Amino acid sequence: MIECMIAAPQSGGGKTVMTCALLAALKQRGVSPCAFKCGPDYIDPMFHRAVLDIESHNLDLFLSSEETVRSLFARYAAGHGAAVCEGVMGYYDGVGGTTTCASAWHLADTLQLPVLLVLRPKGASLTLAASVRGLQNFRADSHLAGILLNDCKPMLYQTLAPMLERETGLPVLGYLPPMGQAQFQSRHLGLYTAGEIADLTERVEALGQQAQKTLDLPKILELCRRPDTAKSVTPKPAAEHTTIAVARDEAFCFCYAETLDALRAAGAEPVFFSPMREAALPSGCGGLYLPGGYPELYAKQLSQNTAMRTAIRDAVQGGLPTVAECGGFLYLGNSLEDPQGAVWPMAGVLPGTGVRTERLVRFGYAELTSETDNLLLQAGERVPIHEFHYWDSTQNGEACTSRKPAGTRSWKCGFTSPRLFASFAHLYMAGTPQLAQRFAAAALQYERKQKSCLSTQI
C-alpha cells in the first residue's frame, strides 16, 4: 500500500495542484489511488474527486477523535493501491494557529504517514533549505520524507535539487514546471469549485502527464510503501431504514461524504434533489438536509423556483425533521442578498435576511453547546463545529452558544426544535455519530406517522 501526505510550509504553496498531479499520474499508471483531505475544507476534495471519479474523504482531528480518524482512513483506503492525503495550511498550523492540534502534522503523526513537502522556489534558494531544516527539527518526528518543487523551471531545479538534498538530507523527488493548467482561480480563501472550471478534465490530464515526466514516481512509490495492515470495519447496518432528502446542486455543494455515510449507517438513505431545478421534494422522505454551499451566487434561480421554496417551507413548518447548515440556513431565511446587492425571497421558514459582509464571519473551529433539547442535541450537550462564510444573517438565533476553542469569544446562534436544527455551523456527523442516529430516528418516526395517516385516510 502506498501512503503519503502532500504538505507545504504555508497556504498557497501548491498542495492541491501537486496532489491532483500525483493522483492523476498514479491513476494513469493503474495504481488505483484514493484521496483524503486534512481538515474541514470542502473544495479541495472536489478536485480530488474530479481526478479520480470517486469520493475524496475529509480527516479532521478537531471534529473527530484520533481513533475515529484512523478508522475512517482504514475504511476508505481499503481496496486501493495508494492513499494520498492533502495537508492543510502550513504544516504545523493547527487550531487557532497557535497549536499543532488538527494540523497536517498532527494527522501525519496519527496515521504515521510519510510527508512529501511542496516548496515553491519564488525569491529564495538556500533559504529554502533553512526553512526545511526548521520544519524537520520543530518536532521530534517531523515525518518529512521528501521534497517536491512546484512552479519551478527545469534549469532552476537542476540547481536547487542537489543543494536541498545536501543541506536537508531529504531526497528531492521531482518538480512541476510553471503550467497554465495549474492556475486555478480562488474565491475568498479557497479555490473555485471543481464544477466551475469548464476544462478541468483536460487540465488534470495535462498535470498527470507532466507528473509522469518530471516527478520521480518509482522513487515516490518506493519511499511511501507501507505494510497493508489496516483492516476496514464496515458499520453494522441499521435494523430499519428511512430516506432523507439531501439538497445537491451548484448552490448546495458542501456536504461531507462521511456525514452521508454516517446517516446510511444510522438507517437513513440520502436521496438527492436540486432546490434550483426541481419543483418538489423527493416523495416519501422522512427528513430534509440542506447543507452548505454558495446559495448567494444562485439566489435568483433559487428564488424564482417558487414551487420548491413553497414545498420546503410547508414541509418544514409541517414538522419534517430538518437540518440546515450555513448555506442551507440562509436558504430557510426570509430573503438573501446576492453579490450584486439584489435581494431575493427565500423559503421564509426562519426570520432574518441573508446579507453579504465582505469579510469572513466567525471563521474557524468552535464548540457549540445547545441550550435546550432539540432534533440533534440535548440541553447542555456540546459538539465540535466549523464555520466559514462571508454572508451573515440579520437574525442568527439564540438556541445554542458557540465558543472558540481558546474561550476568547462566544456567541449565540441557531434555531432549534424537536424537528429542526438550523445554524451557520457545519456539522461532521462521522465524528459525532449520535447526530446522525438522532436525525435518522426522527426521520423514521416521521415517515411512520405519515404512512399511518395515509393508511387511516384510505
pLDDT tens digits, residue range 159-191? 999 999 999 999 999 999 998 755 555 544 444
Please name the amino acid found at residue 92: Y
The 10 Å Cβ neighbour count of residue 27 is 18
Say how far apart CA 137 and CA 152 lie, in whole Å. 26
Please give the average per-residue pLDDT across 109-132, as a whole number.
Answer: 96
Are the C-beta atoms of 389 and 360 separated by less than 8 Å? yes
Are the C-beta atoms of 181 and 174 separated by less than 8 Å? no
**For residue 230, pLDDT beyond 70:** no
> Is the sign of the CA dihedral 206, 209, 215, 218 positive or negative?
positive
pLDDT of residue 193: 58
- Average pLDDT taken over every residue of the chain: 92
pLDDT of residue 345: 98
Please give the average per-residue pLDDT across 349-353, as a whole number.
Answer: 96
**For residue 237, pLDDT beyond 80:** no
Query: Each residue of 297-325: pLDDT tens digit?
Result: 999 999 999 999 999 999 999 999 999 99
In 3-state terms, what secondary structure has residue 108?
helix
pTM: 0.92
Q: What is the pLDDT confidence band of residue 457, given thresholds at 50, 70 and 90?
A: low
Query: Each residue of 127-155: pLDDT tens digit?
Result: 999 999 999 999 999 999 999 999 999 99
Say how far apart CA 409 and CA 427 lie, in whole Å. 20
pLDDT of residue 228: 75
pLDDT of residue 232: 60
Are the C-beta atoms of 172 and 146 separated by less than 8 Å? yes
pLDDT of residue 111: 97
pLDDT of residue 198: 59
pLDDT of residue 196: 60
Best CA proximity match to 51, nearest among 72, 22, 31? 22
pLDDT of residue 407: 77
Selected residue with higher pLDDT from 42 and 179: 42
Ordered structural domains, the chain, with CATH = 2-223 (3.40.50.300), 242-457 (3.40.50.880)
**For residue 285, pLDDT beyond 60:** yes
The share of the chain scoring above pLDDT 70, in percent, equals 93
Selected residue with higher pLDDT from 256 and 194: 256
Residues 6+ apart with CB under 8 A from 441: 266
Number of DSSP helices (H) and strands (E) in the chain, helices first: 13, 23
**Cell 494540523 identifies what position?**
103
Active site residues per annotation: 326
Query: Each residue of 336-346: pLDDT tens digit?
Result: 999 999 999 99
In whole angstroms, how far apart are CA 224 and each of 144, 219, 358?
Answer: 11, 8, 43
